[in-house]
Amino acid sequence: MLLHIPGLFSREEVLRIRQALKQADWADGKVTAGYQSAKAKHNLQLPEGHPLAQEIGAALLERLWKNPQFMSAALPHKVFPPLLNCYTAGGSFDFHIDNAVRQPRGNPERVRTDLSSTLFFSDPDEYEGGELEIQDTFGTRQVKLPAGDLVLYPGTSLHKVNAVTHGARYAAFFWTQSLVREDSQRSLLFEMDAAIQSLTRDVPDHPALIQLTGTYHNLLRRWVEV
């Protein structure tokens, strides 16, 4: 499942964040890549624990936990603290699959990377190239969203970031460990939850709502891992 979640940050917030990112001290993005990924990764990144990354990450997580789409689609158990990156001057990240487990620096708790997310802080017309390409069952999808919007996709996906040939692409990225490990099961639950919400709005007194809601929670009870 690939999901576009719009408007996590307002236009004014995006402009302030991007201005701060332009003035930040960036490091080589290879510092958080695995052995194989490091060969393909050519970008800049704010170091883990950087005060600006922590500030933006905290604001992002606060919005995610209040976002109905994210909560329904991801069913989050743990979220890796968001990181910030920049692609410019030909920077790219060739096809790769994210490491299965991540551990935040200085934190003993590990996060299984069931879901990957990218939140864009640059608008599409501010840079050339830089598309996030994701391979899924429907083929290769290219993603280049407005600033403030997020894309959520399975961590098992083969994906890359095309070279940025002009301008700069600023973004946050992070991983989520879901209560439900399998993407196909999460997709079914997300679709069922959407149907329940639609019925609740349109025919709130329909007796099938109780049965459908019960089925949703029984499936969740069967598949959840805690």
Enumerate the known binding-site residues for 2-oxoglutarate: 169
| CA dihedral angle for residue 142, residue 190, residue 147, residue 117, rounded to 10 degrees | -70
Binding residues for Fe cation: 96, 98, 159
Q: What does the chain come to in residues?
A: 226
Binding residues: 96, 98, 159, 169
Indicate the pairing of strand 101-102 with strand 132-136: unpaired
Q: Which amino acid is at 83?
A: L
Among candidate residues 64, 61, 81, the one with its CA nearest the CA of residue 73: 64
Q: Which residues of 169-200 are buried (b: 16+ CB within 10 A; e: fewer)?
A: bbbbbbbbbbbbeebebbebbbebbeebeeee
User: Angle at CA 4, nearest 5°, toward 8 and 104?
Assistant: 65
Task: Say if residue 6 is exposed, middle or buried (CB neighbours under 10 Å; 0-12, 13-18, 19+).
Answer: exposed
DSSP state of 8: S
